[in-house]
Structure formats: C-alpha cells, structure tokens
Amino acid sequence: MKFLCIDCDAQMTFEERQQPGDGTFTASFACPRCGRRVAMLANPMETQLVGTLGVEIGGRTLDEQPLEFTRGAVAGRDDAFIEDAPRSTLRAPRPVWSSDAEARLAKVPGFVRGMVKKIYSDYARERAIEKVTPEVMDRARAELGLEGM
C-alpha cells in the first residue's frame, strides 16, 4: 500500500503508525519533496481485513490475528459452530471455487485478485460453505459491503 503526492509525483514516505487498541488503525505518510502529509484511517473491519491479509503498512504487518483453528481444537465447545463466530475463528477447510465463480474472479484486476479471492474464501470458510459460487460472491459482497470487488 503506497501513497503518491500528486503535485510532486513522488512516493510518500511512511511516518507513523498507531493502533490505539480500539480496533482502529492509523498511519501517516509525508511527501519527501514538499512535506505534505496524509493520514490513513481504517475502521475496525478494515483494520482486521488488512491484518488478515498480512498487508504491510509502514514496513511490517499488523499484529498477527489467530487465523486457523482446527476442528479438534474446538471440539466439545457448545459455541464452536455458532453462526456469528468472530472472523478469527476460521475453522472450515478451504472452499473450492466453481468454474463460473473462477471465471468471475478472472475479471478482477490481477493486482488485487489474490486479495479478493481470499476475502471470498474466508467468507465461505467462516460460514462452512464448501463451494464458492457467483451466488456466494453476491452474498459476500452485500454482507461485507464489497461493492466493486
């Protein structure tokens, strides 16, 4: 993730990052030529998305989130398979992609395709959906507010 100063056509350099602990995340960048500064603010969901994807901001990834729980680790827990489990309790195996879902994914620009595929895959895993289809993609887009992906 990079920011460009439009006036200078220069890549802004990372200045400071903050994770205040309430789930939000901020990072500030400055233009090395004119000194203009910008800050990026991410709400808790965006912060988790970035953290989940392992995107590097300011030179290192956000604090690791526990991503993988095996079925064995949660066996015996009454709440192990509740609908609204937090994103961090992914437990289902990787979903397969139907050919029409793959075809739709292929229309996504290459530089974000991997990220988009992971978002849909995680969405399916969290809901124990074994196969990603265009219908699942539509549902994920509506529920996650991913219009345009």
> Which residue, 31 or 50, has its beta carbon nearer to Zn ion?
31
**How far apart are CB 51 and Zn ion at their closest, in Å?**
29
Dig out the tokens for 57 from the structure: 């901001």
- Helix crossing, 110-126 with 134-144: angle to 10°? 90
Q: Which of residues 54-83 bind Zn ion (CB under 5 A)?
A: none
Dig out the tokens for 32 from the structure: 């090395």
Comparing CA positions, the residue from 86, 105, 89 lying closest to residue 97 is 105
**How far apart are CB 140 and Zn ion at their closest, in Å?**
38
Dig out the tokens for 48 from the structure: 């988790």
Dig out the tokens for 100 from the structure: 């029409």
**Can residue 5 be called a binding residue for Zn ion (CB under 5 A)?**
yes
**Can residue 34 be called a binding residue for Zn ion (CB under 5 A)?**
yes
**How far apart are CB 12 and Zn ion at their closest, in Å?**
8
Dig out the tokens for 1 from the structure: 């993730």
**Can residue 33 be called a binding residue for Zn ion (CB under 5 A)?**
yes
**Can residue 30 be called a binding residue for Zn ion (CB under 5 A)?**
no
Report the interface residues with Zn ion, using CB under 5 A.
5, 8, 31, 33-34, 36
